[in-house]
Homo-oligomer: A and B are copies of this chain.
């Protein structure tokens, strides 16, 4: 593998010099939840080729920057949000994925609370929220990234309480159920859903009601991160639903 001569010390420096460098980018698949459907944040590409086409938000990783930091930077620039749930999706590393320049991309996906974000900023960047079921055509391999992200989201959401990341701090159980119905693309039974969610003992009922979607109103709940942490530390192998 390394073809150095026997007996001579080969330093990392010698070795690295013969090697190829390339661009490293990160693309962000940013999910939000609004009025009953899962949304994806897209923007119009500002550079040619493919200028004006819809694409994911991306950026190049700088030399002195962690890969994860790069993605958080992009997300904050565009939405103004910090401390967002964000996770690595996958590396897109095909040699020919970007025409002209060798560039690998580390896709990361984020879940954000739509009500918290600064809509102005998003507009400034030529960005727009799309229903995940009505996406436009995307540049390069971004469509594949979105498909992969949706799959991973489904998978993860079964074992980790991701639903809360997409809702405001206070939410109703029907709202939460709605989030999961959208993620899993199927209807859930309200009785079973409520039972299961409450059984884990990680959401707390408040006194207030939300009357925005019914006359009777639904009680608000809050996620209790501490209780959740304790649960999983106990090794509770926690299937959310």
Q: Assess whether A20 is in contact with B106, with CB atoms less than 8 Å apart.
A: no
Q: Closest CB-CB distance, A114 to chain B, in whole Å?
A: 21
- Which of these, B51, B57, B65, B102, contacts A63 with CB under 8 Å? B102
Report chain B residues within 8 Å CB of A9: 48, 51
Check: A216 CB closer than 8 A to any chain B CB. no
Q: Assess whether B19 is in contact with A23, with CB atoms less than 8 Å apart.
A: yes
Q: Assess whether A63 is in contact with B93, with CB atoms less than 8 Å apart.
A: no
Closest residue of chain B to A90 (Cβ to Cβ) is: B88
- Which of these, B2, B47, B59, contacts A46 with CB under 8 Å? B2
- Which of these, B4, B93, B101, contacts A67 with CB under 8 Å? B93
Interface string of A70-99 (1 = CB under 8 A from B): 000010011000000000101101110010
Interface string of A165-206 (1 = CB under 8 A from B): 000000000000000000000000000000000000000000
Q: Determine which residue in A1, A63, A69, A103 has the highest number of CB atoms from chain B within 10 A of its CB, and name it.
A: A1
Q: How many residues of A contact B (CB 8 A)?
A: 51
- Which of these, B16, B65, B69, contacts A23 with CB under 8 Å? B16
Q: Assess whether B101 is in contact with A16, with CB atoms less than 8 Å apart.
A: yes
Report chain B residues within 8 Å CB of A20: 23, 60-63
Given A20-B61, A21-B21, A21-B24, 9 more pairs with CB closer than 8 A: A1-B78, A2-B46, A2-B47, A16-B23, A16-B60, A20-B63, A22-B22, A22-B24, A61-B104
20 chain-A/chain-B pairs, Cβ below 8 angstroms: A1-B74, A1-B78, A2-B46, A11-B47, A11-B49, A12-B101, A16-B23, A16-B103, A20-B23, A20-B62, A22-B24, A24-B24, A24-B93, A63-B95, A64-B95, A66-B93, A66-B95, A68-B93, A88-B91, A93-B106
